[in-house]
Amino acid sequence: MAFAAAFFYLFSAVAVAAAVMVIVSRNPVHSVLFLILTFFNAAGLFVLLGAEFLAMILVVVYVGAVAVLFLFVVMMLDIDFAELRAGILNYAPVGATIGLILLVELALVYSGWVLSPEAIEGITAPAEGDAGLTNTEALGQLLYTRYIYFFQMAGLVLLVAMIGAIVLTLRHKPGVRRQDIAAQVARTPETAIEVKQVKPGQGI
């Protein structure tokens, strides 16, 4: 138990520190890298909670896709982050207010647990399932049986999103040279080389 607690404090401390660094670091690339570090530590927290599926999804989706996309955007677009950051202190009161509200909400939730200990039992009702299943298996068994319809519909929505992105953005430019490996391999010395008789002193 103490071991788990130690890891909890490790992951949370690093996550909070990395989150702070996301905001304050000067170089936007560093910000994104700190964001990835935050995600990894949040995934560690999920593992401690026994939600290994969520942990892996967090790494795969947020680190693997979202954060890398951020990184691409940050590196490829010419954005002057110093300029964007110029007025950041003006927004400090708004940010502080939001932080304060979140803090109050957290305090309310926590005091709810303290005042009525039975309330916490209501939120920790695990989904029914066979004992000894990992939660990936348990989710899979529900998702592909009871919720098969919703799952398939979600798949269709994603298909439409993909078709839509291609319809609206893909342009076939004429005259673009593409690599044609078959044509390259099929070249013979006869088609590739032309022998010219060059008279001395004249050039081609």
Interface ranges with another protein (CB under 8 A): 141, 144-146, 148-150, 153-154, 156-157, 159-161, 163-164, 166-168
d(CA 55, CA 11): 13
Shortest distance, position 139 Cβ to another protein, whole Å: 14
Sequence-ordered alpha helix ranges (H) in 25-147: 28-49, 52-57, 68-76, 81-84, 92-115, 119-123, 135-143
DSSP state, residue 77:
S
Shortest distance, position 148 Cβ to another protein, whole Å: 6
Shortest distance, position 147 Cβ to another protein, whole Å: 8
- The answer to whether residues 56 and 43 touch, using CB atoms and an 8 Å cutoff, is yes
C-beta closer to another protein: residue 100 or 157: 157
d(CA 158, CA 172): 23
C-beta closer to another protein: residue 88 or 165: 165
C-beta closer to another protein: residue 16 or 159: 159
* Chain length of the chain: 204
Shortest distance, position 16 Cβ to another protein, whole Å: 29
C-beta closer to another protein: residue 84 or 162: 162
